[in-house]
Amino acid sequence: MTLDSIIIFVKKLIDILLVWMILYYILKHLRKNLKMVLLFKGILFIVALKILSDLLDLVTIGYLLDYVITWGPLALIVVFQPEIRNVLEQLGRSQLLGRHKSLTVDEREKMVYEIANAADYLKNNRIGALMVIERDNSLLEYIEKSKKLYADISSDLLISIFFPNNPLHDGGVIIQGDTITSAGAVFPTSDNLKISKRLGTRHRAALGISEACDCIAIIVSEETGRISVAMGGELHYNLTLDELKLLILDELRPKNSALLEEDEHEEE
């Protein structure tokens, strides 16, 4: 093989990989959006119908599909402008290496201990709460619109924030690393039609922010005292304190260490 042919091959390979990366990202983030899922199914149906019309030489339907394929993208951009904007915003918030502070094992365990202690008190006293832990996606957009604290995390501070009649108790707390960055944050509520009508505003806000970012949203129900966690648009409902601790510790574990542990298990 000559140098020119190698360069051409590498360029084509990079081209294909970039296309696959874009498709993967789009499918990964749109699978939680009901409107976009239905749109994607509709596009697949039109493509399949177009292939069928070409194979069977169906002139009329082929002509109509050509018209739809030509002007359809423009119509989709106009109709689905909010969804497209959300995807672009998620891309802008994504950071390959993560922006949150990398915690040591002791710092991570202390943070989880403080959150669990606060959740236990809030649960026993039926005090509603919403605590959001930032991971790779920045929550700066919501921090800027909330009350900035930048305080070391502690269960006493979390309890006092959510205590009734506190001006900040209705909003959510944002945690970056082992720091309570802000309180009184307002998050978008999920519009997923599959969500139970029994869930209140806090649960819907937790699901909404977990759909928009890769954060961990912890909810304490004011009505029932139950503890739940929202991640990736899914709700882990009615967790025990031990389940809460293990879930957060596992999700905050650095990816590199997780891979190393898997390799060690395989060797054993």
Strand 179-185 to 147-152 pairing: antiparallel
Phi and psi dihedrals of 151, rounded to 5?
A: -115, 150
Are 163 and 243 found together in one domain? Answer: yes
Among the ranges given (15-24, 163-172, 199-208, 242-251), the one the predictor scored with the smallest mean pLDDT:
15-24
Are 64 and 114 found together in one domain? Answer: no
Return the higher-pLDDT residue of 150 and 255. Answer: 150
Quick check: 196 pLDDT over 90? Answer: no
Return the higher-pLDDT residue of 265 and 230. Answer: 230
Cβ count within 10 A of residue 181: 22
Quick check: 169 pLDDT over 60? Answer: yes
At residue 256, the pLDDT reads 57
Q: What is the pLDDT of residues 82-103, one digit of tens each?
A: 666 666 655 555 544 444 456 7
Are 163 and 224 found together in one domain? Answer: yes
Are 167 and 140 found together in one domain? Answer: yes
Are 113 and 72 found together in one domain? Answer: no
CATH of the domain at 118: 3.40.1700.10
Report the side by side order of strands in the sheet with 234-239.
147-152, 179-185, 172-176, 129-133, 216-220, 227-231, 234-239
Distance CA 188, CA 205 (A): 6
Are 141 and 234 found together in one domain? Answer: yes
Instruction: Work out the angle at residue 16's Cα, subtended by the Cα atoms of residues 11 and 22, and round it to the nearest 5 degrees.
Output: 125
At residue 70, the pLDDT reads 80
Q: What is the pLDDT of residues 215-234, one digit of tens each?
A: 999 999 999 999 999 998 89
Q: Is residue 98 part of a domain?
A: no
Quick check: 78 pLDDT over 80? Answer: no
For residue 207, what are the domain limits? 105-257
Are 73 and 195 found together in one domain? Answer: no
Among the ranges given (37-41, 128-132, 156-160, 194-198), the one the predictor scored with the smallest mean pLDDT:
37-41
Two tokens, residue 85: 């904007």
Among the ranges given (30-39, 144-153, 157-166, 259-268), the one the predictor scored with the smallest mean pLDDT:
259-268
Q: Is residue 266 part of a domain?
A: no
Among the ranges given (133-142, 159-168, 187-196, 212-221), the one the predictor scored with the smallest mean pLDDT:
187-196
Place of tokens 């990079």: 14
Are 237 and 116 found together in one domain? Answer: yes
Helices H / strands E in the chain, number of each: 10, 7
pTM of the model: 0.64
Q: Are the CB atoms for 222 and 201 separated by under 8 Å?
A: no
The tally of domains found in the chain comes to 2
Q: Are the CB atoms for 205 and 219 separated by under 8 Å?
A: no
Are 139 and 196 found together in one domain? Answer: yes
Q: Is residue 263 part of a domain?
A: no
At residue 90, the pLDDT reads 58
Q: Is residue 179 part of a domain?
A: yes
Two tokens, residue 229: 């966690």
Cα Rg of the chain, angstroms: 23
Give the residue from 93, 116, 144 where a domain finishes.
93
Are 61 and 112 found together in one domain? Answer: no
Are 32 and 117 found together in one domain? Answer: no
Are 133 and 239 found together in one domain? Answer: yes
Q: Is residue 45 part of a domain?
A: yes
